Amino acid sequence: MDNLENGYVPLAGTYSEMANPAGGVRPHWQTMLDQLNAYGAENITTRWNRARRIIRQNGVTYNVSGTESDARRPWELDPVPLMQSADEWEKISAGLIQRMRLLNAFLADIYGPQTLLKDGILPSELILANPAFLRACTPIQPPDGHYLTMMAVDLARAPSGELRVVKDQTQTPSGAGYALENRLIVSRTFPTMYRDCKVERLAGFFAALRDRLAELSPRRNENPRIVILTPGMQSPSYFEHAYLSRYLGFPLVEGNDLTVRGNQVFLKTLGGLRQVDVILRRQDDDDCDPLELDPSSHLGIPGLVEAAVAGQVVIANSLGSGLAETPALLPFYPMLCRRLLHEEPKLWTVPTWWCGQNLEMNQVIQNLDDFVIKRAFPEPKEHSVFPRQLLPEQRAQLIAHIKDDPKRYIAQKNLSLSTAPCWVDGKLVPRHSMLRAFVVATRDGWKVMPGGLGRTSSKADSTVVSMERGGGSKDTWVLGRGEIKRITLLPDSGSEAAPAREEENLSSRVADNLFWLGRYIQRAELQTRMLRTILRRLTEETQPDGTPELPELLRTLGVMTDQPPERWKIARPVEDMERTRAFLCQVIFDTDQGNNLQAALMSAGQIGAMVRDRISMDTWRILDRLDQELHRTACREDLTEIADMLDSLIVPLSAFSGLGFESMTHGYAWRFMDMGFRLERAVMSAMVIRELLTAPDPYEVPVLDAMLEIGNCSITYRSRYQNGVAVLPLLDLLISDPTNPRSIAFQLKLINEHVRELSHLPRLGQLNEQIQSEKLLRFVEDFDLSLITAFDESGHRPKLADFLQQVIDLVQELSVLINERYLSHVQSTHKLSSLVGGAT
């Protein structure tokens, strides 16, 4: 069989990572290629399809647009690793470490004595006009002068083969978590290839980061509390934040979860306030404190700068360190390296000109087509302009902009990026590639991640390599020297994720989300069961005498989902099929109608994504499957197809409660989720019984049958009672039977248990919700149902209706009490400002 590399033609004018100019393969790619060939094209494709499924199911995402709707775009990964030889990697590592020392020394100077400005080394405008230079952060003294705990560097290879720095990331270096996830997927998909290549492991890098964060703690003698601060779901790399949180075992928090008291920082947990020592932040400098940094930010923690100045909390990287990633500094770093470190730079930068100098600006304008124009100061989104692609008037406008405020622009040489092989349509094809490398500070030096996040362009001719623009990623393999130590091997996500965190760290916000996740899932399940029961009667010939109970079922569904009566009041549903279908579709698909199936599933998915560091991988997969099923839109005209869709929803929905039991530790997180789940089930069951059994109905038997179906207890019932269905035994089964996992009493029993367990949290005494919960359980268990099942003269069951309404009210009250106790801590903030000169 033909070797995979035989048909591979590198792009002309670029450096080929894999092929040498003579047409052969560079030695450090050989073993990997041999292994790929041993797998064979077909096998690779099969394995890779499976891997892609894992990526999707694991919910590895990169949120491109920053909107919630786009929050779950799957991560793009290529199966072919980017290979690095041991010799070259040693040089790269030395260069990366030097770069981190350099940027750190730069920050220490600018936030300190500013000799670079006083001695005329740097154009002062570069700092003084730079919005990333945060004057409020100058009093912060990071421990041992380490402004940077971790940083990322984007490297690209020029046609000459030389690696060059394209970009530094110093404020929220992202991608290390994705690199780790890439490694897990590729190594599991091609285990023999991974083993035979003797690849350097990544785990040591993360262990170094974890150890370093612990060392940074200002309270040296105690067990430090370290948290990861995320801007939340709208952050493009939220997945990574949650992933690192699980991997490192540090709670993932948002600004609202933290509070400054005195000059210390605390995490708001269910058990009260817990002091935080170290914050690994993934939030931009400016967003961290609305009091002393950007006052318009809603993500920050008021007082955080003061706490950092007081040395009571350490923030990594230090606030203000975004200054070092200023693109306009790129051309100055080689000179700064000589000045600050007294060393020759080991890594060079992509040729860059800062237009803030007259000579440079004129050169750039004269040779505009040779450059890509970017912003000089850090901005949240990159703006790259390729003058070559501009129309004449756009070009003139660009020149005018540059001349108007030259300091705001840099020009970089169009660099022809190197190419690496990617797996496309069953063969290897060349794509432009870049590497994001990571460095972490350690107690006695620095450590480079042996590997990194390889990134590739989406098309052969595209030179824009960026996740925002839809490129892909690659695992990066650094070949080891000699034997790789096995102890650092990461066998699977289960064992590395060992969440060694205290339950008390559960924040109120997360508990609230879990509570509602449980409610929405259960709401969706009951609605699905109800819908299925109805659809079965519409599509199957179930009873010889028709389906007289249908109007009642439609009404119940309408009440459950808050639909207006004109939609569900259908006297002859089978004959009036079009209206019936329209109503059912409304309940299933219409997201504007608040309380229906699609809305419940969407809410569950969104909340699930917010708490994904708290739920098990299996639970996450269920949420993903629900999402899939829902989008596999059945033809809305065809009731049989809709019924099929509901059938396929019910399996993951039912599995959810079971899995929660199985795979989540029974700590507070699980208790809140299950409590939401049980409260919803109790209320909804009571509502269904009330709607179906309290109104006069000449067709009681078919209604009772339907109730058994909705309650999913036909089998239980029939095994106990041989005769037909009767009201009293049915009510007993659905309401008070403590052994039926679907009965109301069963839900109340579990809720009562949760409430009791939660009261073990510190600083809480005998609680209102505990009293209420006990009362409710007794009320339902002790009730003599036989007293209230009889019809009155008008054919109603008013006593039963009263009873059920009482149950619903009591459960809702309990829900409010629980919310007040544990969950309603999020308060809005307002800004104060004083008056000047009579302004109002």
Whole-number minimum distance, CB 14 to another protein, in Å? 40
- Sole residue written with tokens 């997180």: 669
639-663 helix and 508-539 helix, angle to the nearest 10 degrees: 140
Nearer to another protein, 135 or 195 (CB): 135
Window of 92-100, 305-313, 395-403, 721-729 that interacts with another protein by CB under 8 A = 305-313
By CB under 8 A, what part of segment 707-726 binds another protein? none
- Sole residue written with tokens 């306030």: 273
Instruction: Look at residue 168 and give its three-state secondary structure.
Output: strand
- Sole residue written with tokens 């790929």: 36
Window of 17-25, 85-93, 171-179, 300-308 that interacts with another protein by CB under 8 A = 300-308
By CB under 8 A, what part of segment 248-287 binds another protein? 259-263
Window of 132-140, 480-488, 515-523, 530-538 that interacts with another protein by CB under 8 A = 132-140
Whole-number minimum distance, CB 826 to another protein, in Å? 10
- With CA atoms as reference, report the closest residue to 352 among 335, 343, 344: 335
Question: Is 160 among the residues that bind another protein (CB under 8 A)?
Answer: no
* Binding-site member from 7, 24, 112, 139 for another protein (CB under 8 A): 139
Rounded Cα distance between 515 and 676, Å, is 4
Window of 319-327, 457-465, 732-740, 824-832 that interacts with another protein by CB under 8 A = 824-832
Give the C-alpha distances (Å, rounded to integers) separating 535 from 33, 568, 591, 640: 55, 14, 20, 8
Give the C-alpha distances (Å, rounded to integers) separating 382 from 153, 287, 317, 450, 759: 16, 18, 21, 27, 50
Nearer to another protein, 766 or 833 (CB): 833
Residue 648 exposure: Cα atoms within 13 Å on the Cβ side: 15
Taking residues 214 to 253 in sequence order and writing x for each that binds another protein by CB under 8 A, - otherwise, the string is: ----------------------------------------
Q: Total residues contacting another protein (rule CB under 8 A)?
A: 42
- C-beta atoms surrounding 114 within 10 Å: 15
Nearer to another protein, 293 or 710 (CB): 293
* Binding-site member from 37, 45, 57, 138 for another protein (CB under 8 A): 138
Rounded Cα distance between 737 and 63, Å, is 47
* Binding-site member from 66, 204, 218, 302 for another protein (CB under 8 A): 302
Nearer to another protein, 295 or 696 (CB): 295
* Binding-site member from 9, 38, 94, 128 for another protein (CB under 8 A): 128
Whole-number minimum distance, CB 219 to another protein, in Å? 18
CB-count burial class (<10 Å; 0-12, 13-18, 19+) for 776: buried
By CB under 8 A, what part of segment 81-120 binds another protein? 114, 117-120
CA–CA–CA angle 18, 23, 29 (5° rounding): 25
Rounded Cα distance between 538 and 443, Å, is 71
The token pair at 686 is 């009571």
CB-count burial class (<10 Å; 0-12, 13-18, 19+) for 324: buried
Whole-number minimum distance, CB 763 to another protein, in Å? 17
Nearer to another protein, 124 or 812 (CB): 124
Question: Is 763 among the residues that bind another protein (CB under 8 A)?
Answer: no
227 and 245 Cβ atoms separated by less than 8 Å:
no
Whole-number minimum distance, CB 147 to another protein, in Å? 17
Question: Is 827 among the residues that bind another protein (CB under 8 A)?
Answer: yes
- The secondary structure of 51-98, three-state, reads HHHHHHHCCCECCCCCCCCCCCCECCEEEEEEEECHHHHHHHHHHHHH
Q: Sign of the C-alpha dihedral, residues 664, 666, 667, 670?
A: positive
Instruction: Look at residue 413 and give its three-state secondary structure.
Output: strand
174 and 228 Cβ atoms separated by less than 8 Å:
no
Whole-number minimum distance, CB 718 to another protein, in Å? 57
Question: Is 403 among the residues that bind another protein (CB under 8 A)?
Answer: no
Whole-number minimum distance, CB 383 to another protein, in Å? 18
Rounded Cα distance between 274 and 293, Å, is 25
Window of 274-282, 306-314, 346-354, 582-590 that interacts with another protein by CB under 8 A = 306-314
Nearer to another protein, 228 or 305 (CB): 305
Rounded Cα distance between 8 and 467, Å, is 25
CA 374 to chain CA centroid, nearest Å = 30
- C-beta atoms surrounding 578 within 10 Å: 8
* Binding-site member from 309, 373, 467, 535 for another protein (CB under 8 A): 309
Question: Is 310 among the residues that bind another protein (CB under 8 A)?
Answer: yes
Whole-number minimum distance, CB 391 to another protein, in Å? 24
Nearer to another protein, 321 or 770 (CB): 321
Residue 216 exposure: Cα atoms within 13 Å on the Cβ side: 35
Tell me the backbone φ, ψ of residue 836, rounded to 5 degrees: -130, 130
Whole-number minimum distance, CB 410 to another protein, in Å? 17
Window of 135-143, 339-347, 644-652, 801-809 that interacts with another protein by CB under 8 A = 135-143
Nearer to another protein, 290 or 450 (CB): 290
Nearer to another protein, 128 or 335 (CB): 128
Window of 127-135, 173-181, 573-581, 601-609 that interacts with another protein by CB under 8 A = 127-135
Nearer to another protein, 292 or 325 (CB): 292
Whole-number minimum distance, CB 265 to another protein, in Å? 12
Whole-number minimum distance, CB 136 to another protein, in Å? 7
Nearer to another protein, 301 or 811 (CB): 301
Question: Is 771 among the residues that bind another protein (CB under 8 A)?
Answer: no
* Binding-site member from 168, 257, 306, 552 for another protein (CB under 8 A): 306
Strand ranges (DSSP E) for 202-257?
226-229, 252-253
- With CA atoms as reference, report the closest residue to 321 among 493, 208, 121, 172: 172
Nearer to another protein, 291 or 764 (CB): 291
18 and 3 Cβ atoms separated by less than 8 Å:
no
Question: Is 291 among the residues that bind another protein (CB under 8 A)?
Answer: yes
Whole-number minimum distance, CB 836 to another protein, in Å? 4
Q: Residue numbers of the site for another protein (CB under 8 A)?
A: 114, 117-120, 123-125, 128-129, 135-136, 138-139, 259-263, 290-292, 295, 302-303, 306, 309-310, 827-840
